[in-house]
Chains A and B, each alone.
Chain A
Amino acid sequence: MASLRESKHLPSKLSSLYLMELTNWRWSWRSMIVLGAVSPIASVVFLAAAFHPLSLDDRQRIAVGVLMLAFLFENFHRVAGHYAFMRHHGTLEYYESLPVDRWMVLAAVMASFFTLSLLPITATFIAATVYLNLPLVVAPEAMLVLMVVALPISAMAAAIGVLARSGSEATSIATVVTIGLVSSGSVILREQAIPGVLRTLGEVNPISHAAGYLRGALYKGQAVDPIFVMSTLAMAIILFVWLERHLELFG
């Protein structure tokens, strides 16, 4: 019995999976505008009013903090909900029936939602920068910070989506974790303004570290510490391997 030809070309499989997942713009664009742009921009206005008068450092924290919020809504929150949908509506079974590995599906989902998130994140960034009157000194590594931190975040989101018993449970958990990620460490507020326990949690929070490097890269033109990049990539690889090997996607 002859088997179907197996595509030996990884790029061909990955690009097809990526383009398949990119079609999710059809359902996600409305909430992308609301959660990824309108809500963060409204948060900028609220935070700027609540903490007036603001130093330059405060304004940079608010701008990058809401940018991280938009980033989490568009990547973490949405990937968790999407995985729950795929789990409960048969899409994961469909992918499982194809000659692809689970990590490929995860990478495609992550890359497609990252791509879709670029527009609202850019809109939030521009609006926050203009509204807070921040001078820009952008280093090219800014995009690298977002790309690198998207990897472990998406992997965590996929685990939540697959383990949750419904889509609403997945997005509820993702919302709680999102709040935890932006409030642990110095993401929006300066460290002195947050309780000690949250400062401690911030030490292991990739979003807290990413926010710090992003502030440096966007407003001070600073290079990103390679140790941050390498350690975040290592965390992502560990999560990907764990998901590939141990997550019982199909019971």
Chain B
Amino acid sequence: MAVMEGAAHQSALFEICGLTKSFDRHRALSNVSFAIGKREVFGILGPNGAGKTTLVRHLVGFSTGDSGRVYFLGRSIAPPARWMRGYVGYMPQAAAALNHMTCEQALYYTARIRGLTRAEAQHAADRLLDLWEIADRRRSDSATLSGGETRLLRLAVTMIGDPNVLVLDEPTAHMDARYRRRVHRILAELSKTTTIVIVTHDVREASSILDRAVLLSGGRLQAIGSPKQLRDSVGPLFAVHATSVESQAQDVLELLELRQIDEDQWNGLVDERDLERLRQLQADGRLSLTSTPATLEEVTVGLAS
């Protein structure tokens, strides 16, 4: 798989150089290198087990690689990297993380720890409860919130003190479409002043707000670039769906590595040449075919596999 050159960022915020990390015999990251620029909305994409969370834990100074380096503002990051805490707001993947604080307490106490005065902390808590539209849950025990509400609270807590960089691990997991739209709207507004790194395996939604993204699979960097560049990195691809397939045509579909999803239904990604072969089969009456240009999500799945 060809790896695209990342955009050369003269003002790199994070630089990841040859990062390799193994757990027991499992290699979670393998010689990963790229850079994230200031004021970017940068995505870390890939299927489950791709190494996304392992990578992001290196970005925030929670882990150290077996080899390679991660730099933030030109300074090497090594745990516990407390010096970064003033710059970076990190939202971990786990949701049930705020003990039994009320929403207001979680924001207020976090603000106090981040160095805000009592008045500033209360103001920040009020502002973020309003911004994320959870003011009505102000006095609710955070353990009683729904999965989506908990994520909104965690996002609000991460933004306390207006950090320059937000690193968000699966920020929209367990959210319905309404909450996801809210998150995207607020993050888009925030991206004017803040660098945002988003870890997700939900490529379809992320592609709407990302400037650039890196695609990981099996701990390896598969591609890096804008969502459009990622789509184009493997040439024009088409998502095809074949039905009413005659037995002779099935051999061709298997050859093209399409997946049989039902007795008479096949799905997969094909390039222009293979699409032409399928169209010829359709013209011969051996199958029915629908095809659309592949979305980034479909390309991601294709690249990862």
Contacts and interface: CB of A to CB of B under 8 A. Distances in A.
B115 A97 contact: no
**Which size bracket describes the interface of A in this complex?**
35 or more
Interface of A: 1-8, 12-13, 15-17, 19-21, 23-27, 89-91, 93-94, 96-102, 250-251
Given A4-B115, A20-B109, A90 B97 contact: yes
Contacts of B114: 4-5, 7, 98-99
Nearest to A3: B86
Given A89-B96, A250-B62, 10 more contacts: A7-B112, A19-B109, A21-B99, A23-B99, A93-B62, A94-B98, A97-B89, A98-B114, A99-B113, A102-B80
Contact of A93 (B82, B97, B164): B97
Interface string B91-116: 01111111111100110011011111
Interface in B103-151: 105-106, 109-110, 112-116, 141, 143
A27 B144 CA distance: 12
A26 B112 contact: no
Residue among B63, B89, B114 having the largest count of chain A Cβ atoms under 10 Å: B114
Given A3-B164, A93-B94, A16 B109 contact: yes
Contacts of A16: 109-110, 112-113
B186 interface: no
B51 interface: no
B63 A23 contact: no
A99 B86 contact: yes
A4 B110 contact: no
A89 B94 contact: yes
B150 to A, nearest CB: 11
A236 B89 CA distance: 32
14 contacts: A6-B115, A12-B113, A16-B110, A17-B109, A19-B109, A20-B105, A23-B101, A24-B99, A93-B62, A97-B88, A98-B110, A98-B114, A99-B86, A99-B114
Contacts of B113: 7, 12-13, 16-17, 98-100
A101 B94 CA distance: 21
User: What are the 8 closest A-B residue pairs judged by CB atoms, nearest first?
Assistant: A90-B94, A3-B86, A90-B97, A7-B115, A26-B100, A5-B115, A93-B92, A99-B85
Contacts, number: 109
Interface of B: 23, 38, 57, 60, 62-63, 73, 79-80, 82, 85-90, 92-102, 105-106, 109-110, 112-116, 141, 143, 157-158, 161-164
Nearest to B82: A99
A249 B140 CA distance: 30
Contacts of B88: 97
A25 B98 CA distance: 13
Contacts of A3: 86-87, 164
A207 to B, nearest CB: 28
B98 A97 contact: no
Contacts of B163: 4
A7 B109 CA distance: 12
A5 B88 CA distance: 12
Q: Which residue, B62, B89, B102, has most C-beta atoms of chain A within 10 A?
A: B62
Task: Tell which of A3, A100, A250 has the most Cβ of chain B within 10 Å.
Answer: A3
A13 B99 CA distance: 17
B245 to A, nearest CB: 47
A34 to B, nearest CB: 19
Given A19-B109, A89-B97, A251-B63, A5 B57 contact: no
A90 B96 contact: yes
Contacts of A99: 82, 85-86, 113-115
Contacts of A98: 85, 110, 113-114
A251 B23 CA distance: 9
B82 A94 contact: no
B137 to A, nearest CB: 15
Most buried by B among A2, A17, A23, A91: A23
B162 A94 contact: no
B167 to A, nearest CB: 9
